[in-house]
Structure 1
Amino acid sequence: MGGLRELAVPFVVPGPCGVAIRDRLKHLTPQDERVLRAVGAHQGALASGDLKARCADGHDHSAQTWAARKRELTGVSSSRIAGAITKATHDQWALARRCQAAHIQNLAAGIRTLRHRLSLPVGEPGTKRAPGGYRSKNEWFHKSRRLAALEDRHAAAVAEWRAGRVRVVRGGKRLLNTRHHLTQAQLTEDQWRQRWEAERWFLAADGESGKRFGNETIRVNPDGEVSIRLPAPLAHLANTRHGRYTLTATVAFAHRGAEWADRIEANRAVAYRIHLDTGRGRWYLTASWQRPVIRTVPLETARARGMIGVDTNADHFAAYRLDVHGNPVGGPHRFLYDLTGTADHRDAQIRHALTRLINWAVHAGVAAIGIEDLDFTAEKTREKHGRRKRFRQLISGIPTGKLKARLVSMAAEQGLAIVAVDPAYTSQWGGQHWQKPLTTPHRTMSRHDAASIAIGRRALGHPVRRRTAPPPHDRSDRAGHRTVQAGPGDRGREGTRPPTTDRPPGGPSPSGKRKREPSASNTVRNAPRTQQWVQDSLMRTG
């Protein structure tokens, strides 16, 4: 067992620190839409210029350069809009830096794998922990060329990282590349242009505590009336006082509406964002605010009422309920979802599966859900798994990032804690110790169901296997008893293991009849033929 890596300690995942709700802006007039498009395009151009200036600064960025950019934007918009644009610019630049670091790590992992496989003889078999050599000289040659290409990309990425240079596309690189593949995307050039422009608009404003209804730029009163503070060049479009434009549409947040109303009536900060869904032709308003940091419950409290272990797969969640001692209760549960189709469809599928999982956890009466702390950053590269394209697609299809965010926020609303555990060996050990013992004629156990038990036991602090190893031979019972899952004060804890049948070892069957006639012993070779060695029946020991 020396080759096993050290397992990370389970921990309770911190709760959500923010809230976002959305409602549709219905029955907008043509004038309303013209004003929204004009404001979005004007502020989007300012955001693009500010992002270009921030990327040009690189490592030379400082508080003085930030203040200079904000003063420049204030003259063509307003102080609050300038602050919102510069803050969004810094968030986007920081995200690009994190993505750049992840790209460098991914390239480095691929280079290490290629160098290892190229160093092995052709045809060298691999192991469970490391891939082997390549299968032919032709494949070895092509992989050596790929190694050179990855090394060149890695050197260029490291140079850009050290220089503080990032590559950011406002509107998204994927949508930009779609312009060259309109036929495959089933879009016309005009449809693509509308989507591209809508993605580059900037119609957002950060909240301000102490200001009226928590936001001066985009204000929503308790009646749902929406008004926008227009930038200086568009002040002539205002239809109310103080350079504001009031929309004819109103909003009514069905989800968390009472919490939102309490915040704006207390003049607490609420941020708003207006965006257009070009596919449906609908306008939406999103309200968001921060929550105070919620203190997570202690791990012992989360374990007090048992646990539900969840194994995440590419098409379903496998879940099993366990009591506080780590014993499975009931049967396995599977919550299916389909991750094909559009992003909205995939998001709805994940949300629906998590809703059913959380409702079952609440009905079962547990206080926490145990789940693997999955991260497939370095495991889905083709350098590591070679030709196993289906396996790489399977790993890539597991929604790890979106699952973590949604599960934590949805579970917090029901008072459930999330316990993250190390994912190492859960499928292997679960299948080894739990799949066969729990399989019955009326219950089929899959490897994923057994893995959910392993995850739940690890979250509860128990070992995955059902029993520990026998004691050493210097004990008085000579390795006859096993330490089962019992507390220190339980009676019979140190007793021998009970028999697996209804009679003592070596004793007669319950009917009192032997299944076959006794045979003569072959140990005495010189006994007379008329005399037979018949073994007496053994005495009962209990």
Structure 2
Amino acid sequence: MRNLTAPFVVPGPSGVTVRTRLKQLTAADEEVLRQVGAHLGTLACRDLKARCHDGLGHDAKAWAARKRELTPLSSARWAGAITKATHEQWALARRGALAHLQNLESGVRTLRHRLALPLDQKGSKKAPGGYRSRREWHAKDRRLHVLEDRLARERADWEAGTVHVVRGGKRLARMRHQLPAARLTETQWRERWEAARWFLRADGESGKQYGNETIRIAPDGEVSIRLPAPLKQLANAPHGRYVLTGRVAFAHREQEWTDRVAANRAVAYRIHHDVTRARWYVTASWQKPITRTIPLAAALADGVIGVDTNADHLAAWRLDMHGNPTGSPRRFSYDLTGPAGHRDAQLRHALTRLLHWARTCGVRALAVEDLDFTAEKTREKHGGRKRFRQLVSGLPTGRLHARLVSMADAMGLTVIAVDPAYTSRWGAQHWQKPLTSKNRRTTRHDAASIAIGRRAQGHPLRRRTTPPRAHRSDVHGPWIAQAGGDAPGREGPRRRVPGPRTRSVPPDAERTRATRTPTTVRGVRSEREWVQDPLLLTHQER
């Protein structure tokens, strides 16, 4: 069994992002936005090309030189926003190249190990076995040579600092060669491609009017843009600015955004165009101080809700402060088929129901698994288990956890991350059968949620530690794993119940039976009442 990491309180989000639609735009407004986005997008493409050409030899002087070249063609703030976005995109591509390199190394290592084993040799829990047939062995040997060539190429690019970036997205670029399959015409694809390569993004600056000097949104919803130098003739306001006809209003976190804008605190904006819907959107984002995490014991004072993440639902069960499941399990389903917007809405809806239920239960903490499947869904490790690889790839671990932490912080709840090792196996082994009855069917996922919650509380995952056989009676009293060393009377005898010790006669039998009205005669008291002889009890006790 591998070592388990201790549970920890997940820190809150460090930023906020809200989006709304730009409505009531005229044809002139849309044309100005198109020209500004296309012009700045061209500058961003040139800057990204220069940054990729510098590679690992880039320094602060090269950054300043690139910014000086962009300033006459746009403005100082536009140039700063473009160069910053270029650095972020290059760094993201660099991290992706490292992840791909590690994935190739893992695949090559697995193939070499399995090819060195005899055919049809069984593997162990930590190492796979040999291949099943000579035909499969030959196919995997060819794939090993292919992966070695890719690994050598990627390793050379990594050492040289070469990254491969496509502004607008590699998927959209490859879609150009498969237009009939994508059900797009060349004109429709061209519109999407150009809109994806536009640049309409401006970073905020505290102390400036409404928190942003380039893209400015007033508290009343008025939007104005600082035009680049070559497009000054399009201005309809002083100081080379263009004021849009439409107004914006943020439905989500409106008061927080209004307070920040009124105080002239930094707010970053991004304007983008949805070609499919023919709509314009604006996204506002700003940083916020990270919520101070409370101690783990304080978060678990009122119990915890264990949440098991699955491909199509969230299984949750409430546990009290002693680790005992209370109530019935809950299931929050979602559908991850369809476009990205539909999948994101399904996740938010499921998490909203989960958090509302947690508030009604009076619980302040939710326990989730700290899942990371970056190294568990490779083709070489699970080549024959296609359905398992699809299941693991479909789990929305990263997006779901980010959403959960953000939404829980807004509702005043705490998220606790635990090690996911053996939660499903031990939960089904110790909790599934005891909690299954005629009226309730406990699934494996429900039992796993109990194991997750108990691990967050520090309790063992098994139901009860069985005492020695000689101590299963009243010799030392009830003995459970949750009782601490300082619990008073944890190994003392049971409290004596007053009354006779025989099991056939309840306490105070003489008094109760002498005054009891028989039910065999309708409301008529019997003339002869039977009274228990006290000597008989004494004789029985002996």
Please, what TM-score do these two structures have when normalized by structure 2? 0.89
Per-residue CA distance 1:436-487 (angstroms, 9 max, x = gap): 0100100101111100000000011111111235369999999997433224
Q: Is the 8 A contact 1:482 1:497 kept in 2?
A: no
2:262 aligns to what?
Answer: 265
1:126 aligns to what?
Answer: 123
User: What SS is found at the alignment partner of 1:442?
Assistant: coil
How much does 1:317 deviate? 0.4
User: What SS is found at the alignment partner of 2:467?
Assistant: coil
Q: Is the 8 A contact 1:337 1:353 kept in 2?
A: yes
1:209 aligns to what?
Answer: 206
Q: Does 1:433 align with 2:430?
A: yes
User: What SS is found at the alignment partner of 1:424?
Assistant: coil
Q: Is the 8 A contact 2:476 2:491 kept in 1?
A: no
Per-residue CA distance 1:96-123 (angstroms, 9 max, x = gap): 1111111111111111221222122111
Spell out the pairing of 1:262-411 with structure 2 (5 A cutoff).
Answer: 262-411=259-408
2:173 aligns to what?
Answer: 176
Q: Does 1:448 align with 2:467?
A: no
Comparing 416-425 with 122-131, greater Cα deviation is found at: 122-131
| Structure-2 change in CA distance of 1:476 and 1:395 (3 Å) | closer
- Structure 1 residue aligned with 2:132, among 117, 132, 135? 135
How much does 1:387 deviate? 1.3
Structure 2 residues not aligned, in runs of 5+:
496-500, 506-538
| Structure-2 change in CA distance of 1:276 and 1:472 (3 Å) | same
Q: Distance in 2 between matches of 1:335 and 1:290?
A: 31
Structure 1 residues not aligned, in runs of 5+:
499-503, 511-538
Per-residue CA distance 1:363-390 (angstroms, 9 max, x = gap): 1111110000000011111111121111
- Structure 1 residue aligned with 2:20, among 19, 23, 32? 23
Which amino acid in the other structure matches residue 200 of structure 2? L
Which amino acid in the other structure matches residue 342 of structure 2? H
How much does 1:51 deviate? 0.5
Which amino acid in the other structure matches residue 64 of structure 1? K
Per-residue CA distance 1:178-216 (angstroms, 9 max, x = gap): 111112212111111111111100001000101111111
Q: Distance in 2 between matches of 1:116 and 1:407?
A: 40
| Structure-2 change in CA distance of 1:191 and 1:476 (3 Å) | closer
Q: Is the 8 A contact 2:476 2:492 kept in 1?
A: no
Q: Percent identity?
A: 68
Please, what TM-score do these two structures have when normalized by structure 1? 0.89
Per-residue CA distance 1:45-103 (angstroms, 9 max, x = gap): 00010000001101110000000000000010000000000000000011011111111
Q: Does 1:224 align with 2:221?
A: yes
Per-residue CA distance 1:276-334 (angstroms, 9 max, x = gap): 01111000111111001222111111111110000000000010100111000111111
Q: Does 1:58 align with 2:55?
A: yes
Comparing 232-241 with 150-159, greater Cα deviation is found at: 150-159
| Structure-2 change in CA distance of 1:137 and 1:481 (3 Å) | farther
User: What SS is found at the alignment partner of 1:228?
Assistant: strand
Q: Is the 8 A contact 2:431 2:447 kept in 1?
A: yes
| Structure-2 change in CA distance of 1:489 and 1:241 (3 Å) | same
Q: Distance in 2 between matches of 1:98 and 1:473?
A: 60
Which amino acid in the other structure matches residue 433 of structure 1? H
1:186 aligns to what?
Answer: 183
Which amino acid in the other structure matches residue 167 of structure 1? H
Q: Distance in 2 between matches of 1:495 and 1:312?
A: 42
Per-residue CA distance 1:257-289 (angstroms, 9 max, x = gap): 111111111111011110001111000111111
- Report the RMSD for the aligned CA atoms in angstroms: 2.5
| Structure-2 change in CA distance of 1:489 and 1:414 (3 Å) | same
2:533 aligns to what?
Answer: none
Aligned length: 504
1:521 aligns to what?
Answer: none
Q: Is the 8 A contact 1:96 1:167 kept in 2?
A: yes
